[in-house]
């Protein structure tokens, strides 16, 4: 076999490998797009807008911190009252 024929065959083999990779990447892309669509639908079904998630998360963090502070305060009050009862 001459050099040019061998080079051509190698290039055809490379083309086939690259075509296979391209198809695999396209399938992965389709799957990721479907996953993203499903996630967006799930977010929207819970009443949230996907583009506003960052601000929603920040608001929820503030709410949780406030509730945690309130809970801590209530527990401290109960603890003081129980201590007073024990000592009294």
DSSP string, 34-69: HHHHHHHHHHHHTT--GGGHHHHHHHHHHHHHHHHH
Would you kindly state where each structural domain of the chain is located, as residue ranges? Answer: 1-47, 49-88
Cα–Cα distance for residue pair 56/48, rounded to 1 Å: 8
* Tens digits of residue pLDDT in 9-57: 999 999 999 999 999 999 999 999 999 999 999 999 999 998 999 999 9
Task: Summarize pLDDT for 45-84 with one digit per residue, the tens.
Answer: 999 998 999 999 999 999 999 999 999 999 999 999 999 9
d(C-alpha 80, C-alpha 17), whole Å:
74
DSSP label of 1 = -
Q: Would you say the pTM of this structure is higher than 0.95?
A: no
Residue in the block written with tokens 């993203």: 36
């Amino acid at each position: 076999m001459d050099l040019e024929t061998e080079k051509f065959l190698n290039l055809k083999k490379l083309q086939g490998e690259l075509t296979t990779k391209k198809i695999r990447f396209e399938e992965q892309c389709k799957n990721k797009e479907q996953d993203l669509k499903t996630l967006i639908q799930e977010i929207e079904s819970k009443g949230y807008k996907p583009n506003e998630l960052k601000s929603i998360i920040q608001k929820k963090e503030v709410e949780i911190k406030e509730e945690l502070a309130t809970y801590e305060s209530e527990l401290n009050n109960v603890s003081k009252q129980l201590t007073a009862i024990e000592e009294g």
